[in-house]
Amino acid sequence: MRVEILQRKVFFHGGIQGLILTIVVGILAHNIATLPFFSVSGPMVIAILIGICWRGVMGIHKHANVGINFASKRLLRYGIVLMGVRLNLDAIVATGPKIILLDAAVILTAIVIICFLGRLFAVEERLALLTAVGTGVCGAAAVAAVTPTIKASQDETVVSVASVAVLGTIGSVLYVLLQPFWGLDASSYGVFAGATLHEIAHVIAATQSVGSSAANMALLTKLGRVALLVPVTLGISLWFNLKNGEKEQISGWRNLSFPWFLLGFLGMSCLRTTGLIPDELASLILQISNLFLIMAMAGMGLNVDIVMFKRMGLKSFFVGLLGSLVISIAGFAAVRIVHF
């Protein structure tokens, strides 16, 4: 009995210790992200990097893994659910079908091209798929949504998030530098950036200097990709589980891993769209969502072995780079051909 009580105390204190550590890493990441150069990457990416460095330099107490794992798994899903308040479905519908069709085409292109390149360069299937989804949909949040449905490992999740984030940061800087030479008006440039850059932070960074017209169209286009997160995740979950079910000669439907938290994401979006969540409350919920997601990314980073990252990350990054180039070229061509 005493041993059981002692184990519970160790478990509890380890959980608290791990959560506090993710909060500390998250606060550091948030403060660093306010600096001019680092603001493009955003606090989520920085939290992963700080977590990796913390583990490599200072190490992690074994009992702290309880809280770290809670942050990287549970808080991640809670953060995605709350992130649904960002999505006003009416605003997306008002942009017309062309934007949604462009978003869908970009997502499909990213998944097909990066998964194909992943096979070509012998990248693990799950890692390539996570990189493709992060590139095509909405970065870290999309990777987090798909991870449990395909039973990806923590290492695969972190490597794909980091690769997509770095590629998006590079892309946003290049977009700003090349914007005067694109030959696009502000609105079309906003659509182009919103359809092809990875994270919302990247889209904002690439368009805020161009003007409100570009920034507004970019955000709406980007949110269209976020809105497609639910059907994309469900489709991948069904395809991946059925495919693996056939290999194992078992029922893929019976073993389907359904991402239930996406229903929460969709529910929050509906509440926001109908006006049941006012602006002030939506702002507060979004801040809590960002806190949970930053803590989750910190937890992921704290779980990363730097040797593993070097081994898995280079080919994934290269495949993501090629895929990003393809969707940028395709997106630019689509914007030039179709008037937005």
- What digits encode the pLDDT tens for the residues 313-332? 678 889 999 999 999 999 99
Query: In this predicted structure, which of 147-151, 154-158, 257-261, 326-330 has the lowest mean pLDDT?
Result: 257-261
- Give the integer Cα–Cα distance in Å for 150 and 236: 8
DSSP state of 339: -
Q: What is the pLDDT of residue 66?
A: 82
Which of the four pLDDT bands, split at 50, 70 and 90, describes residue 135?
Answer: very high
Which of the four pLDDT bands, split at 50, 70 and 90, describes residue 104?
Answer: very high
Query: In this predicted structure, which of 23-32, 84-93, 116-125, 195-204 has the lowest mean pLDDT?
Result: 84-93
pLDDT surpasses 50 at 170: yes
- Give the integer Cα–Cα distance in Å for 220 and 218: 6
Buried b / exposed e over 273-296, threshold 16 CB at 10 Å, is beeebeeeebeebbeebbbbbbbb
Which of the four pLDDT bands, split at 50, 70 and 90, describes residue 86?
Answer: confident
Choice between 281 and 37, residue whose per-residue pLDDT is larger: 281
Closest by Cα among 324, 222, 302, 284 to 25: 302
Q: What is the pLDDT of residue 9?
A: 53
pLDDT surpasses 60 at 249: no
Q: What is the pLDDT of residue 314?
A: 78
pLDDT surpasses 90 at 339: no
Contacts 24+ apart (CB under 8 A), 111-116: 111/136, 113/322, 113/323, 113/326, 113/327, 114/319, 114/320, 114/322, 114/323
pTM above 0.85, yes or no: no
Is-contact 135 167, C-beta < 8 A? yes
Most confident range (mean pLDDT) of 55-59, 95-99, 148-152, 281-285 is: 281-285
Q: What is the pLDDT of residue 251?
A: 43
pLDDT surpasses 60 at 65: yes
